[in-house]
Amino acid sequence: MMGYEQLWLDYTRKASCGEAEGIEYICVRISDTEQDALIQNSVKELQDAFEGLVGSRPTLRRDNGAGTGAALSGSTGRHGICLALREGMGAESYHLFSEKGDIVIEASDSRGILYGTFDLIRQMKMEEPLFTLDRTKAPLMPMRMLNHWDNMDGSIERGYSGESFFFADHQILVNDRTRDYARLAASVGINAVVINNVNVKDAATWLITDRYLDKVKELSEVFAGYGIRLYMSLNYAAPVELGELDSADPLSDQVGAWWNQKMKTVFGRVPNLGGFLIKADSEGRPGPFTYGRTHADGANMLARAVAPYGGIIIWRCFVYNCMQDWRDYKTDRARSGYDNFMGLDGSFLDNVILQIKNGPMDFQVREPVHPLFGGLTKTNQMLEVQIAQEYTGQQRHLCYLLPMFQEILQFRTYVKEGDDTVRDIVSGRTFGQHNCGMAAVVNTGNDENWTGHDMAAANWYGFGRLCFEPELSAEEIAREWIRVTYGNDDQVEEILMFLLMSSWPAYESYTSPLGIGWMVTPNNHYGPSVDGYEYSRWGTYHRADHEGIGVDRSHEGTGYALLYREPNASVYDNKDKCPDELLLFFHHIPYTWKLRSGKTVIQHIYDSHFEGVEIVDEMAEQFMKLQGKLPDRAYERMAARFREQKEHAREWRDQINAYFYRKSGILDERERKIY
Amino acid sequence: MMGYEQLWLDYTRKASCGEAEGIEYICVRISDTEQDALIQNSVKELQDAFEGLVGSRPTLRRDNGAGTGAALSGSTGRHGICLALREGMGAESYHLFSEKGDIVIEASDSRGILYGTFDLIRQMKMEEPLFTLDRTKAPLMPMRMLNHWDNMDGSIERGYSGESFFFADHQILVNDRTRDYARLAASVGINAVVINNVNVKDAATWLITDRYLDKVKELSEVFAGYGIRLYMSLNYAAPVELGELDSADPLSDQVGAWWNQKMKTVFGRVPNLGGFLIKADSEGRPGPFTYGRTHADGANMLARAVAPYGGIIIWRCFVYNCMQDWRDYKTDRARSGYDNFMGLDGSFLDNVILQIKNGPMDFQVREPVHPLFGGLTKTNQMLEVQIAQEYTGQQRHLCYLLPMFQEILQFRTYVKEGDDTVRDIVSGRTFGQHNCGMAAVVNTGNDENWTGHDMAAANWYGFGRLCFEPELSAEEIAREWIRVTYGNDDQVEEILMFLLMSSWPAYESYTSPLGIGWMVTPNNHYGPSVDGYEYSRWGTYHRADHEGIGVDRSHEGTGYALLYREPNASVYDNKDKCPDELLLFFHHIPYTWKLRSGKTVIQHIYDSHFEGVEIVDEMAEQFMKLQGKLPDRAYERMAARFREQKEHAREWRDQINAYFYRKSGILDERERKIY
């Protein structure tokens, strides 16, 4: 196994946090019987953090919960950290405050203690005052999940940061890195992890068999020690794949009985298991359609089987016709998720969650929010985003995605008066739901830095923080990540902030314009190929001709715009009201059309592509100033990525501009070089 | 191993050849000491053919060459076939005639006897009169070679007809199929075979090591029994790859000595070896450029090492910059072969042959003839064509290539007065050379029918026949192949002739227009992708914009047209004189330009694409009439291919037409459906 870094939990760099130096002990005011692995892990984490950051390891004092509730320390003149359980706070919540010279972390459950612990460590790393802290934090989203697309041979689908650390050679790995992964995830509030790929049937079939259950259990226990429930992707056709049944018909009694028995075995062996993620009837995967049944039939059958054990079934809504004819202008992939699932609203059991991608296509740099958000009113919903930068530079380009995630969460669906944003829906506030939240597809791998691009770690960090405290802005999260990762140097913070906050707009500028998306090399999805998917079966077209570009999804076209509630539908349906950044997603527009920005479409394409490259050049130049200020190895890795990004952004610019110049024949007003 | 068919050597179908029924014996008028495996194989082939086609196996009579030269049979009233060696005929030539009631095959060497044998069998299968035969045949081209791109793991690069039958699991296979391959190849005159891929270093490095030499020898002996010399692709950097030297510098004494010793070993162990094929300094392959040396330095070093054993070095001229910038309009891949090799003319040793692709690009459906033909005057040259249909439908579309090969061979280079065609050059006539000929890249695999598409066998058959008897027309070859393969039914012949002769023009019609080439899916090269290579590093551009399309290779552009001798240079350089079918290869032309055909470029594109599909529809319809007339399995296989071709030709038509309509905005005059 390769060596690896500790990222934002690196305790080797001393923090200047004078107050922390006075902390001498950790007092655990929790009875022995109440103490579990989470409490023990919290104590160890605090000790390790103090030892590394401050230089002295606090001693452990046990109070066994027999104390009066008054701090033990006040009278001694010494300082410590007290961990205490207290009734009446919400699940996973904590209160971090100072009392009589001690810092106190109070919570109703040990997960709250753990989260408070990591918050305190974060404050230390950021060199914030500790003894004036008084904050109560409750995670907004019940489910804060990572979806890994790891395969059992050790490869990772859309992996750009090494091989899997969950699997190698068809075995499950449980080792130091597993634990450190759990620490990193838990430290930002992640409480659920799917360990295997939704797309490949091997793991999704075999992980529920005797061959793997002991090791799944071992892994689930490491996770549980950090408040994380282990989930697995499941092959819907497992009873058939395993050769035990001829059918996977969800309405067959025999199939139901098979699953009931299977889940009894699996949860019996792996009591910490959270449940399953299923991609069914999508891109060639099996599902209930094979038997003429609905997604609800399929999901509910599984939900019934896992219900006795508190299990959850997460059902992906990424269902569309991937054998479309490009000549067909009526079929619209964007509609498919809505069309497939809206009619089933209300027919799913309560332990089923529909997992809905942020947009109707597939993790493009810009998409409208998925219309199922605001459509569904009687179904548990989870928002799926992609940290794995499949379409946003594959961790070779910098693309800090939190601003995008924030925009999505803040989108008003108008599903009711007030509490109608996507954030409201997936936090459960809109419909009073509990099984909901947010999931991110992630591709952390066994690279030394976990994420390929060192700064891509900000997306992992930020996703967790966002799910926990969605009121944080993307800027605040970025600033936090910089300080906990690279320390508190002002110049480092200023430059890295500039890089992070410039990166998504820059990437959008030099890639596909105005919300149309795609234009990437087929299959690997890296780099430009304007027509790469234009004549394909994937339903991802731009319909550019010599006069204009864009897909007519208005009422005159595919009608997709009308799937939204008012006033969104009218805004999107109308060329004049539709936001520029989504214009080509909703409308076929002449190159000479004046955008709301005042530019023509074609001039916008040219300008944004030249500007995007200029921003990247500025980013790279700014980054170079950090030589000597960042750890050398990290600096060198990042410098190499910025060099590639500079060159590759030019390739995007020149191909896109050449394509549209050649097609439209319209010159750049500013007479810049177009090939 | 899979079962497989015998193709044109199938003797299971009775022939109606009354004369052959009278043949009772084979008389071998050759002394025991002169008899070799070829004579024995000839006798066996005749016996097997008669047994299968006529129903009785001729007995073998030995004459031991002691006869007076008078036929033995005349007096007996019985008929036989006599094989006899006679001084004074050219190498590999034969005289097939009738004398005193016997059919006589006379030749100066046993290869001539073998070729005469196969000719006689061909006549029997075609039900031609035998006793009036009187023909002397001498192969025009000294080297008639197949290049296989087989890898040692059993895969075939650009293989569309199964796995390798030369290699599996990194072992060399020698079995019945090997012998039948040699029979099939020899029966059409092939006398040299490269068994391994030029592109993959494993085989090209390791076949010359002790690990494989015994098996190479065994294979070479099977080949030798059919007059075929075995060649191997060689890794130029083998001494380095094998870990024996640090350098492969051709001017290093140490490197030269290494090769001398290596070749002594290799030819000592494999005395039948013909020599080596080398792809050097091309598409990432190592070569003398690494050491600042020329191709002549590299080729001559190897040539010196193999010369003592009569070995030949074949050096590919497919050298170009495969890291081109699409933004660069000056660099022209088409020039690269000429620019790299012209300056070396006369500097290669006599046992070096330059192998030159038919066109300057890479086996497109239409290219001008490579300007090295007619350029080089002091260098041995071999013409390389591709039977493996990499760019011509991959044996899923029917594309009979002999008409193209004939056009190439008939191309006048004007290198001197008379005898100036490509055929003259590669037959050695132009410059009195002996080391020259023609090679075809082929991908026969372990499919039941050897070639994927049953009718693709016509290209294999035809290539051999063309090299042997270049005066045969493509039609004559097609007719021969049909009759020896499927018998002498008039309707079968008529329909298959129509299919074969329509196929290349049809494929050209519905794929890339007017000589521009490419427009294929990157990497796999199957199916349309108009811009697939347009913004790539491969130097294969069409430069289409809203006004026109084509690459300016005239004197105002890259100057490529001027690499030809006059009057070719002036013809190609001039838009008004350039043949329509190559216009876009040589010039950037407005869509509204009137072709010599009277149509505009854009209307030609539309018309040819609609017409191409109509031809394919007609082909498929005609083919269906053969149900019951062809063997059932063959019919079903072909029917499936024609169904795919029909659908896929539409895909080509619609993508190309849509691309140009969208780009030009010019309507089809005939208002057909364009998407």
Measured distance CA(B551)–CA(B585) in Å, rounded: 6
**Cβ of A665 under 8 Å from any chain B Cβ?**
yes
Residue whose C-alpha is closest to residue B558's, from B360, B275, B409, B298: B360
Q: Do A529 and B547 touch (CB under 8 A)?
A: no
Confidence of residue A20 (pLDDT cuts 50, 70, 90): confident
Question: Which of B326, B530, B546 comes nearest A531 by C-beta?
Answer: B530
Smallest CA–CA distance, residue B202 to chain A, in Å, is 25
- Pairing mode of beta strands A23-29, A79-85: parallel
* Longest CA pairwise span in chain A (Å): 83
Q: Which of A332, A362, A607, A668 is catalytic?
A: A362
Q: Quick one: pLDDT at residue A76?
A: 60
Q: What share of chain B is helix, strand, coil (3-state, %, to 5)?
A: 40, 15, 45
Measured distance CA(B207)–CA(B234) in Å, rounded: 8
ipTM of the complex: 0.84
Three-state secondary structure of B260-329:
HHHHHHHHHHCCCCCEEEECCCCCCCCCHHHHCCCHHHHHHHHHHHHHHHCCEEEEECCCCCCCCCCCCC
With beta carbons less than 8 A apart as the criterion, state whether B413 and B370 touch: no
**Cβ of A260 under 8 Å from any chain B Cβ?**
no
Helix boundaries (H) for A207-308: 210-224, 238-241, 253-269, 295-306
Give catalytic status of residue A362 as yes or no: yes
Give catalytic status of residue A390 as yes or no: yes
Chain A residues in contact with B651 by the CB 8 A cut-off are 535
Per the rule left: phi > 0, alpha: psi between -120 and 50, beta: everything else, B517 is left
User: Given a cut of 90, is residue B237 above it in pLDDT?
Assistant: yes
**Average confidence (pLDDT) over A98-104:** 93
Q: What is the pLDDT of residues B13-23, one digit of tens each?
A: 777 877 888 89
Q: Quick one: pLDDT at residue B624?
A: 97
Q: Quick one: pLDDT at residue B1?
A: 45
Q: Do B675 and A529 touch (CB under 8 A)?
A: no
For A219, the 3-state DSSP assignment is helix
Q: Quick one: pLDDT at residue B524?
A: 95
Chain B residues in contact with A660 by the CB 8 A cut-off are none
Which of B326, B659, B663, B673 should we substitute to test contact with A (largest number of A Cβ atoms within 10 Å)? B663
User: Given a cut of 90, is residue A285 above it in pLDDT?
Assistant: no
Q: What is the pLDDT of residues A106-151, one digit of tens each?
A: 999 999 999 999 999 999 999 999 999 999 999 999 999 999 999 9
Tell me the residue type at A311: G
**Cβ of A531 under 8 Å from any chain B Cβ?**
yes
User: Given a cut of 90, is residue B169 above it in pLDDT?
Assistant: yes
Residue whose C-alpha is closest to residue B465's, from B417, B409, B415, B540: B409
Q: Which long-range contacts (CB under 8 A, 24 or more apart) does B32-36 make?
A: B32/B64, B34/B65, B34/B85, B34/B110, B35/B110, B36/B110
Chain B residues in contact with A664 by the CB 8 A cut-off are 546
**Average confidence (pLDDT) over A444-452:** 97
User: Given a cut of 50, is residue B69 above it in pLDDT?
Assistant: no
Token pair for B99: 């004398």
Instruction: Considering only residues A225 and A286, tell me which one the structure prediction assigns the higher pLDDT.
Output: A225
**Cβ of A323 under 8 Å from any chain B Cβ?**
no
- Pairing mode of beta strands A102-107, A94-99: antiparallel
Q: What is the pLDDT of residues B548-590, one digit of tens each?
A: 999 999 999 999 999 999 999 999 999 999 999 999 999 999 9
With beta carbons less than 8 A apart as the criterion, state whether B465 and B480 touch: yes
Smallest CA–CA distance, residue A58 to chain B, in Å, is 58
Chain B residues in contact with A659 by the CB 8 A cut-off are 531, 535
Instruction: Considering only residues B285 and A410, tell me which one the structure prediction assigns the higher pLDDT.
Output: A410
Chain B residues in contact with A549 by the CB 8 A cut-off are none
With beta carbons less than 8 A apart as the criterion, state whether B274 and B316 touch: no
| Structural element, H or E, at residue B549 | strand B548-549
User: Given a cut of 60, is residue B404 above it in pLDDT?
Assistant: yes
With beta carbons less than 8 A apart as the criterion, state whether A429 and A487 touch: no
Q: Quick one: pLDDT at residue A1?
A: 45
Q: What is the pLDDT of residues B432-452, one digit of tens each?
A: 999 999 999 999 999 999 999
Confidence of residue A339 (pLDDT cuts 50, 70, 90): very high
Give catalytic status of residue A417 as yes or no: no
Mean pLDDT of chain A: 95
Question: What is the chain B residue with the closest CA to A535?
Answer: B655
Q: Which residues contact A292 (CB under 8 A, 6 or more apart)?
A: none
The answer, as to whether pTM is greater than 0.95, is: no
Based on C-alpha coordinates, what's the Rg of chain A?
26
Q: Do A546 and B546 touch (CB under 8 A)?
A: yes
Measured distance CA(B18)–CA(B124) in Å, rounded: 9
Q: Quick one: pLDDT at residue B76?
A: 60
Q: Which residues contact B106 (CB under 8 A, 6 or more apart)?
A: B84, B85, B86, B89, B94, B95, B97, B112, B116
**Cβ of A537 under 8 Å from any chain B Cβ?**
no
With beta carbons less than 8 A apart as the criterion, state whether B425 and B410 touch: no
Token pair for A213: 């259950």
Q: Quick one: pLDDT at residue A67?
A: 47
Total length of chain B: 675
Which residues of B are annotated as catalytic?
283, 362, 390
**Cβ of B546 under 8 Å from any chain A Cβ?**
yes
**Average confidence (pLDDT) over B531-539:** 95
User: Given a cut of 60, is residue A64 above it in pLDDT?
Assistant: no
Q: Which of A214, A283, A350, A556 is catalytic?
A: A283
- Pairing mode of beta strands A589-590, A437-442: unpaired
